[in-house]
Amino acid sequence: MKWRCRDRVIDLTRPVVMGILNVTPDSFSDGNRYASVEAAVERAKVIAAEGAAIIDVGGESTRPGAAAVDEAVEIARTVPVIEGIAAASDIAISIDTSKPAVMAAAAAAGACIVNDVYALRAPGARAWAAASEVGICLMHMQGEPRTMQDNPHYDDVVAEVCEFLARERNACIEAGVDREAIVLDPGIGFGKGLAHNLTLLKELSRFAALGAPLLVGVSRKSFIGRILGRAVDERLYGGLGLAALAVIGGARIVRTHDVAATCDTIGMVSAVLQGIDS
């Protein structure tokens, strides 16, 4: 299994880690810690050294209630960081955005992946993705970040999320996006209640059966805190348990703030499931 991302092919024979690098002042977990270019690039070096295959750079918070950011601000936050990472490391760089202008600026700076919580539904996004040949991650979200947790409702959360991801993947392919450039994300915590999140994680194999690599992000999510009674900076062990469960369920990419611990966790799970290379 592989992920085509411009001139790079990411091997997904074994699951890999996508390290989170938020360069926003209002991220729920690490807001303002990496607001300077220098701090962000240094953090990226640590993420790479800890074993991540991908760094996901985000310039707009998608936590519930976060303020919207215009594309000029998002570009100003992310592009210098991407340029700095590209100069310092050969790691694959992802841009976490839904705006085509930000996608284009990030790709010009060195990003080879677009991670889009809106699944490339913005006008022009699919056509740009097809022409640029970037790798893309299509995520499901009910509603939009500012209001997505206002009483989300599903009749059958697994069936509805599967249907959405299959439909949007087909729309991208019809627009000219390479089938092997697409990975899918069920959007744990995005427009879902506690029971929805647990059901999606329990039924991950149904998403893996869609025929595209599966990305899962559960790191430090609020539902971990709700179940375990832990603050944001105390959710590591809960997140590692879910990362292991995600890999067992078929995830090939695990998105996380806690790179070293997650690499160890999924490495051991992978060794049990697939054996070790001789």
Residue identified by tokens 């959710």 is: 235
Active site residue 255: yes
Q: Tens digit of pLDDT for each residue in 224-233?
A: 999 999 999 9
The catalytically annotated residue of 14, 43, 126, 255 is: 255
Residue 29, pLDDT above cutoff 60? no
Residue identified by tokens 């729309």 is: 171
pLDDT at 228: 96
Region 43-57 average pLDDT: 97
pLDDT at 277: 72
Question: Which band of pLDDT confidence, cut at 50, 70 and 90, is reported for residue 36?
Answer: confident
Torsion of CA 137, 141, 147, 153, to 10 degrees: -170
Which of 113-117, 144-148, 272-276 shows the highest mean pLDDT? 113-117
User: CA-CA distance, 61 to 230, in Å (whole number)?
Assistant: 21
Question: Which band of pLDDT confidence, cut at 50, 70 and 90, is reported for residue 5?
Answer: very high
Residue 149, pLDDT above cutoff 70? no
User: CA-CA distance, 58 to 35, in Å (whole number)?
Assistant: 11
Question: Which band of pLDDT confidence, cut at 50, 70 and 90, is reported for residue 85?
Answer: very high
> For the structural domain made of 2-274, what CATH number should be given?
3.20.20.20
Region 129-155 average pLDDT: 85
Tokens describing residue 74: 């998002």
The catalytically annotated residue of 99, 220, 221, 252 is: 221
- The answer to whether residues 97 and 60 touch, using CB atoms and an 8 Å cutoff, is yes
pLDDT at 41: 94
Active site residue 99: no
Q: What is the pTM assigned to this prediction?
A: 0.92
Question: Which band of pLDDT confidence, cut at 50, 70 and 90, is reported for residue 69?
Answer: confident
pLDDT at 146: 63
Region 80-98 average pLDDT: 96
Distance of CA 210 to the CA centre of its chain: 18
- The answer to whether residues 183 and 214 touch, using CB atoms and an 8 Å cutoff, is yes
14 compared with 63, residue with greater pLDDT: 14
pLDDT at 97: 95
Question: Which band of pLDDT confidence, cut at 50, 70 and 90, is reported for residue 15?
Answer: very high
Region 115-119 average pLDDT: 95
Domain limits of the chain?
A: 2-274
Question: Which band of pLDDT confidence, cut at 50, 70 and 90, is reported for residue 142?
Answer: confident
β-bridge pairing 182-185 and 135-139: parallel
Tokens describing residue 216: 């899962």
Quickly count: other Cβ atoms within 10 Å of residue 162's Cβ. Answer: 20
> In this predicted structure, which of 33-42, 224-233, 238-247 has the lowest mean pLDDT?
33-42
Residue 104, pLDDT above cutoff 90? yes
55 φ, ψ to 5°? -110, 130
Residue 173, pLDDT above cutoff 90? yes
> In this predicted structure, which of 33-37, 163-167, 181-185, 203-207 has the lowest mean pLDDT?
33-37
Q: What is the CA radius of gyration of the chain?
A: 17
Region 200-215 average pLDDT: 94
